[in-house]
Amino acid sequence: MRPLFDEPWESLSLDSVHRFLADAGDEGLLWEAKGPERDNGQIRTDSIYKALSGFANSSGGYLLLGAERGSKNAGPWQLPGVVFPNEPVLWTSSVITAEVGLAPIPVHDVKAFALPVAPAAADATGDAEQRHVVVVRVEPLAVPPCVTRSGAVFMRASGQTKAVTDQRVLMDLVGRGENARVAAADSALRAARRLLADSTSLPREFNVLAVGFCAVSGPDDKAGVLFDKQRSVFFFEVVGCDMQADGSVGSATSWHMRQDALYVHTGGQAPDRATTVAAFWDGAVAAAFNYTGTGHDPSLLEAIIARYWRGLAGIAAHYGGSGDAYVAVVFNLAHQSFSMNPDDMPVTDIRRWTSVREPDDVEKRSVALELHRAFGDTAWRD
């Protein structure tokens, strides 16, 4: 999302907010300000929900709590601040993430700045009233619309947050969300299939299965995040510690880079097992299990899938993925383990909607049953 202030978001200061407002005119497409709306100097939570819905359904933006103009819609901007019931960041975050507030909750970050306490701000007990300025950064929603607790949908346009009443606009928002979900599903499946077939990984005939994972929401510059050297250290550690084929390796054994992907290979003490993990420019991640042994052992693959799923979800989150996600398990049916009884095994793969987290017991059980059926085993639902 385009920056608004003259300092990076990570190091944003109150001085930077002051400098921005000193030159600001009317509220713009990417920012909105809310001053104290009640006699006690607080902000109405409905105003926060309205503003965040508008940003999330548009291009993202910044909500400034505790900023207002000297006179209505005119004059220079001031920072009187807001009185918060408790710690400002905690209170604002709890309002945004409340179940009765927004659905879905957009990706956001909150920063708070304490204002100097003026002697005139003391109350009847003689205690000074502490006010804060809070800035909320809101990312555009990958799967709109973002709906408020009253069932309203807002969009940000021409410096105003307006309710969406045109059915065509609402359908366009819904269509954007569906397109984002379809794109994530396609990316997860494509990543898994590519890893099985990629000539740069271990020999193709040894691949048994691959797991692809892709979050619907993620950073705008996915390639920039992927090829960040510091982030790659975490990637290598996850592969080496949590995704190795037989659990005996504490670090990745090798890696290489492509124009659109980063690959990591790791083996183990067992010579017939290895793992290849890749992260791609479109936000998808995938892991392939390379297995040269003989025999019919879907239980082994069941454990591998659970381990890969957990590791890939962690990598996706590290690269900025959030919210809903798609997982796809693809089989190499040419492998000897699958070709033992080919008449009983249809060409199939396993696909699921999930979220950016490790699989729960219900998901693991569901995948395990389908995996056993892929091998021709009898596997009834509980």
| Closest to 313 (Cα-Cα) out of 354, 267, 266 | 354
Is the pLDDT at 65 greater than 90? The verdict is yes
Is the pLDDT at 358 greater than 70? The verdict is yes
Instruction: Tell me the pLDDT band of 125, cut-offs 50, 70 and 90.
Output: very low
Per-residue pLDDT of 129-187, as tens digits, reads: 799 999 999 999 888 999 998 899 999 987 899 999 999 999 999 898 899 999 999 99
Is the pLDDT at 40 greater than 80? The verdict is no
HSE-up of 164 (CA within 13 Å, CB side)?
A: 27
Instruction: Tell me the pLDDT band of 235, cut-offs 50, 70 and 90.
Output: confident
CB-count exposure of residue 75 (10 Å: 0-12, 13-18, 19+): exposed
Q: What is the mean pLDDT of residues 302-324?
A: 92
| Closest to 382 (Cα-Cα) out of 355, 361, 351, 354 | 361
Comparison of pLDDT for 246 and 262, the residue scoring more? 262
pLDDT of amino acid 345: 47
Q: Which two tokens stand for residue 180?
A: 């984002």
For all residues of the chain together, what is the average pLDDT?
85
Domain ranges of the chain: 9-165, 175-374
Residues forming beta bridges with residue 331, ordered by sequence position: 209
Residue 40's SS3 state is coil
DSSP string, 311-368: HHHHHHHHTT-EEEEEEEEEE-TTSTTTTTSGGG--S-EEEEEEESS---HHHHHHHH
Q: What is the mean pLDDT of residues 80-104?
A: 92
Q: Which two tokens stand for residue 179?
A: 């397109």
Pairing of strands 61-65, 31-34: parallel
| CATH number for the domain formed by residue range(s) 9-165 | 3.30.950
pLDDT of amino acid 322: 87
Helix (H) / strand (E) containing 216: strand 207-217
Q: Which two tokens stand for residue 76?
A: 């220079």
Q: Which two tokens stand for residue 162?
A: 């307006």
Q: What's this model's pTM, rounded to 2 decimal places?
A: 0.78
Q: Mention every residue, 6+ apart, whose C-beta is less than 8 A from residue 296.
A: 337, 340, 375
Q: What is the mean pLDDT of residues 308-322?
A: 92
C-alpha to C-alpha distance for 259 and 169, rounded to whole angstroms: 38
pLDDT of amino acid 126: 47
Q: What is the mean pLDDT of residues 307-319?
A: 93
Per-residue pLDDT of 270-300, as tens digits, reads: 667 788 899 999 999 999 987 765 556 788 8
HSE-up of 375 (CA within 13 Å, CB side)?
A: 21
Diameter of the chain by CA atoms?
Answer: 85
